[in-house]
Amino acid sequence: MALLAILSLQYRSQSLESAQNLALSVVEMGAGVIERYQKQEQAGALNREQAQKLAIETLRNMRYQDLYFIIIDADQRLLLET
């Protein structure tokens, strides 16, 4: 019985760690999308409005299990909730 409890705790710990790693990976991917469009804006290839619109559309189309993206601007307006 004690072995079952230990194995159960180990499984939960591993599951939590996997979920945390997935969430971190998704956040890093989202940040990468934003950085890519920000660089295009800085290079003059896009204006700010275009860069923001493309970043939002790209993030809107990204799906990772039950994780999703939200974007809130500096004025605390919700720009994206997938």
Q: Helices marked H in the chain — which ranges?
A: 2-42, 48-60
Round to whole Å and give the CA distance between 52 and 22.
25
What residues does 74 pair with on adjacent strands? none
Q: Tokens standing for 53?
A: 């619109």
Q: Is the pLDDT of residue 13 over 80?
A: no
pTM of the model: 0.72
Would you state the pLDDT for residue 8?
62
Say if residues 56 and 80 touch (Cβ distance below 8 Å). Answer: yes
What is the span of the domain harbouring residue 7?
A: 2-81
Number of domains in the chain: 1
Round to whole Å and give the CA distance between 58 and 31.
12
pLDDT in tens, 16-53: 888 888 889 988 999 999 999 999 999 999 999 999 99
